[in-house]
Structure 1
Amino acid sequence: MRERITSPCVGLCSTTLGDRVCRGCQRIDSEIRDWPALSGEQRHRCMVELDRLRAEVAGRYLVVVDPDSLEAQLRRHRIRYRDAQPPLSRAVELLRVGRGRIRDLSRYGLAGRDEGDVTTLHGRITADLLAAAERRQAVLPAPLDLPTLDP
């Protein structure tokens, strides 16, 4: 029986528009296409890599000063997260969902490294995240070592 690992999809798939890397979840098109056929280990590796990428990029702009407050706000706003997900990766999801409503990052257990509003901060993180995901795509091995699926 396969280990069940929830898809990182956030419902903003841009690969249907021709993007090679999804602007919503940062997976490459083959990872999205082949997700149902991936083993639990392959899905886990993908999630770990996406979390690493998000934490690395978000860490340029944010500091998590109170992980418990961040988690409480995620629960309060019903934003999906995983127990093993690093706090900075969780913060990316929080900003994606709440960027238009969040005024004070400290209420969410976060601090910005630079001045600026949350919408601008989210825009910078998103742009850098997409660029990092595209670089990741360039060095990623062929579809997570999956055999080609027949249509």
Structure 2
Amino acid sequence: MSDKKYKIGYTTEVFDMFHIGHLNILKNARRRCDYLIVGVSTDEVVKSYKNKTPIIPFKERIAIVNELKCVDKVVPQTSMNKMEAWNQLHFNVLFHGSDWQGSDMYNNMINQFSNVGVDVVFLPHTDGISSTYLSEILQKINIENFE
């Protein structure tokens, strides 16, 4: 990963049950750009591609991200189409966790963004933590408490 510094960076996430992995991505992204815009997925977007409702409601998730000093601007992510976001925000780089690197979805995005001069930079994923993992633990605790 190069140390190129960008003017405007963009990243998106659900940010359900905010954890250290989320913070690591945001801090790493902010180090790589002068201005970081963060898209927080709406509940409707999450339902459309994950077929589940986030545990933390959208208004609370966006409020949490908005309070972080490493974030300059927070916007709702109302579509999975990152080119729609670029058409509105004109960022120079899209940041995402390395767990998506090599996926068909991101390979297609890299090709699309190269046509408009936007880099896609994958930042290290924090192993051992995810909102899905936290949700599974909570479900297990809940089941054990009611057996």
Give the TM-score taking structure 2 as reference length.
Answer: 0.32
Judging by fraction of residues, say which structure has more strand.
Answer: 2
Give the TM-score taking structure 1 as reference length.
Answer: 0.31
